A and B are shown apart, each in its own frame.
Chain A
Amino acid sequence: MKKGYFGDFGGQFIPELLMPPLIELEEAMKTILPTEEFQTRFTNMLKENVGRPSAITYCPNLSKDLGLDLWLKREDLNHSGAHKINNTLGQGLLAKMMGKDVLLAETGAGMHGVATTVAAAMLDMKAVIYMGATDVVRQAPNVGRMRLMGAEIVAVESGTKTLKDAINAALRRWLSDQETTHYCFGTAAGPHPFPTLVREFQQIISKEAREQFMARNDGNLPDVVVACVGGGSNAIGMFHNFVPDESVKIVGVEAAGTGEPGCYSSAPIDHGTDGVLHGMMSKLLQTEDGQIEPSHSIAPGLDYPGVGPEHAHLDAIGRVDYTTINDAQAINAFKTLSRREGIIPALESSHAVAYAIENREKLQGKSVLVCLSGRGDKDLGILDQIL
């Protein structure tokens, strides 16, 4: 009877009142997703509105500096500036075809909120976006974009006022409004079927990247594939089609926060333990009593005390190496990629780029393909305060 597990992780740990909409969504995945109508409309939207396929870019200057071949999968070039749009258009179209007229979402960095608002506008739906009050301040440009495109923004004042509290509040709203509203979950986490649904829409990243890399490298696969991991949606999308390739080392980069003792990181795989939050059994930052710890990262999109259950599983079976990068290392990568290649990465993606920089000695001569999950314009305010 249990559904949606990746090994020991996953499941549906939510109030009974949310089971009917989850069952309805699972049913829609079976009956609507495979139809020609859905697939044709979705593919066309990705091509005409998002700009897919996104490029892969070779970084000649940084490759020379580091002594390795650095490639980027350019999700930052997507419309609205990040990988998030792949998922929101997919879920938005699915919801529309299910007869819903409101897209509800939570957002940390704001990118998922923007992408949900774009999807809602394109599909003639209403967007309701929950955002921690702290993140509303940290990510003001994205709040402005969402408002401009017609979203209702709800600033969440409870708890730590960041992503986890925005998720709590959005789940409460969904409890009440489930008949008209689809909860457009932003990452490959949460109760089943969200981790599977989000991966379904994000796996196009690795499908394209794998084909593009091989076309540019005489049919060879990259030695290393890297992505940053918050909830883990860009990462699961980037990893999925490389998982069967045993020669490819896959690396997930969590945020170590300030890196100082006592700092709440955002690295539940590295520093967390098994537990239940937001509908899933996964790795969590928590106290011995099972209370959820606040997280910290300079990158709001990574600032989450949990991680998608498939990542917890990929860690448990040893297929993916999860490691950490701290705020200072990410800022260095942010500046370095900007100056050496003219590409301003999101602070989230900077953690993945930083992996290549910080590990250059052991990566000498290797080809490293990094998912550049989003662009960094949104983070200039944060950087202005630091630099």
Chain B
Amino acid sequence: MNKMQVKIEEARAKGKVGLIPFLPAGFPNREQFWKEMEELDAAGASVIEIGMPFSDPVADGPVVEKASLKCLEDGINLTWILTELKKRKGQFKAALLLMGYLNPVYQYGLDKFGADCEAAGVSGLIIADMPLEESQFVKDAVEPHNVALVPLIGLNTTKERMRLYADGAQGFCYFVSVLGTTGQRESLPARIKEKLAEAKEVFDIPVALGFGIKHPDQLKEFGGLMDAAVFGSALISHIESGHSSDSFMEPWK
């Protein structure tokens, strides 16, 4: 069983929702990024999503885009991310996942990427601009290295497509809560419940809810329909305003 699934199910066994924070690699700067990673890990994150910065992040809202572009300006690239992770392999209790867009991964070389992820202790991968139809060649390259390609589905994904995504899926399923980009929202669409129920029925791995999540109170009405929560923009804004990851995680503990 993939480490991401193990960690989320550990949280569930304690009656908790799995916590999946997202931070762009190298944010807010190279040194502090690792301090934030350590705090997120110590605060009980099940999976930590590390963003691979890309110049044209079409699925991201303004907060993640701005943070990612800043990381690019600071020279963050996949070589840095994987090299630094390799140095710290085994230091994190949480499972590690890389999230980004296909082109940087494609240029890095898919086979090398899979092998280097394994060497760096990365358990999962999300490619935001790669639907089911285009995913096989990436899956073939990373799965032999025990890196799961996490399916990303949403409110407009039919049950039929969910089934295709679920076939052989590992780790967890990422359910996008809104038709839109990443970023905090005051309220979430009412349709989520019905679609989450469908996803829970189709996937036999944990289902995580992400996009627009900023506080645990938002999740109360989804009890039993989700296993984990993903939060990125709210965490980035919190760090940008001078606070620590640890204090952000406090209400989630």
Report which A residues bind B (CB closer than 8 A): 1-3, 11-20, 158-159, 164-165, 168, 171-172, 175-176, 178, 275-279, 284, 286, 288-292
Contact = CB atoms under 8 A, between A and B. Distances in A.
Contacts of A164: 56
Contact of A159 (B55, B101, B128, B180): B55
Contact of B133 (A1, A288, A292): A1
Contact of B56 (A17, A18, A277): A277
Contacts of A158: 62, 65
A164 B58 CA distance: 11
Nearest to A288: B107
Interface in B37-93: 54-59, 61-62, 65, 69, 72, 77-79
A175 B59 contact: yes
A165 B56 CA distance: 8
Contacts of B103: 275-277, 284, 286, 290-292
A164 B178 CA distance: 24
Contacts of A172: 58-59, 61, 180-181
A158 B66 CA distance: 9
Contacts of B104: 289-291
B108 A290 contact: yes
Given A276-B129, A277-B56, A16 B153 contact: yes
A281 to B, nearest CB: 9
24 contacts: A11-B134, A13-B129, A13-B131, A15-B128, A15-B131, A17-B155, A17-B156, A19-B132, A19-B157, A19-B161, A20-B158, A168-B56, A172-B58, A172-B180, A176-B179, A275-B103, A276-B103, A276-B106, A278-B58, A286-B107, A289-B108, A290-B106, A291-B54, A291-B104
Interface of B: 54-59, 61-62, 65, 69, 72, 77-79, 101-108, 128-134, 136, 152-158, 161, 176, 178-181
Contact of A15 (B54, B61, B152): B152
A12 B179 contact: no
B131 A14 contact: yes
Nearest to B105: A290
A9 to B, nearest CB: 13
Given A17-B156, A168-B56, A289-B77, A279 B129 contact: yes
Nearest to A22: B131
A197 B200 CA distance: 37
Contacts of B128: 15
